[in-house]
Amino acid sequence: MTGWPAEISDFILETFGNDARKAYGQISTVNEKGQPSVRTVHIHCIEHPTQGLLISCNTKSEKWSHLKKNPQIAGCFWNPENQTQVRFEGIADLISEKTSDFSELIQSMWMKMREEVRITYLLDEEGTPLNTKSPKVDPTKHSHNHGLILVTPTLWDVFQNNPKAYRLGKRSIYSLKNNKWDKKQVSSLHEKSI
C-alpha cells in the first residue's frame, strides 16, 4: 500500500516534499465531544521508512490528545501558484522520542523547524516563561515534547481550478479500497461523477 496514487505522486512530492516551499495547510481532528477541531500546520511528505504525510506536533497539545483517542484526521491545502486544492483523509500514527524506530526521522524534522519554534518548545519544556529575554537554550537539542504525526492517507481529493472558467476546473477523488487506489472524476461542486 502506498500513501498516494502513482498518478499524482510527482504532484504530492512537489507540493509537500519541497523544503524550499513550505506547505502550510489545515488539519482537523475530532475532540471528545465529537466536534471537529481545525488548525494550521506545516505539512511534509516522506517516502521512507513509509509513504505518508508528516506533521510536527507538541505532545502536550490538544491535537496530540485528540489523535490518541481518535486517529482519524483530515486536511486541506490550497496552492495559489497552480490554483490547486488538495484535501486528504487518513489515519494518524503518533511518533514520539520513545518510538526508537523513528529517532532519526524525529531529529531530522526537529531541525527542519524554525529555530525560534525549537526555542519555544525547549523553554516550555523547562518551565521557563516564553517571554524571557535572550533565553539560554541549545536549539539543536531535541525537546521531549516534540513528536510527529504520521498520516497514512486513505483519500485524496484534488481540485485543479481553471482561473478563466471555474466550471472547467478538474476534480478527482482517489479512495483507497482493498489496498488499491480507486479514481473518480467528479464535479467541482459536489462528489457526483461527471
User: Which sequence spans correspond to the domains of the chain?
Assistant: 6-162
| pLDDT on residue 1 | 53
**Rounded Cα gap, residues 170 and 160, in angstroms:** 5
Q: Are strands 24-30 and 36-42 parallel, antiparallel or unpaired?
A: antiparallel
| pLDDT on residue 100 | 66
**Rounded Cα gap, residues 129 and 78, in angstroms:** 35
CB distance 63 to 56 below 8 Å: no
| pLDDT on residue 58 | 96
| pLDDT on residue 98 | 78
| pLDDT on residue 97 | 86
Name the CATH superfamily housing domain 6-162.
Answer: Electron Transport, Fmn-binding Protein; Chain A (2.30.110.10)
State which residues of the chain have pLDDT below 50: none
What pTM, to 2 d.p., does this model score? Answer: 0.93
Q: 109 exposed, middle or buried (CB, 10 Å; 0-12, 13-18, 19+)? A: buried
- Radius of gyration of the chain from its Cα atoms, rounded to whole angstroms: 18
Q: CA angle 78-69-42, nearest 5°? A: 25
User: Tens digit of pLDDT for each residue in 110-125?
Assistant: 999 999 999 999 999 9
**Cell digits for 17?**
516534499
**Rounded Cα gap, residues 110 and 122, in angstroms:** 12
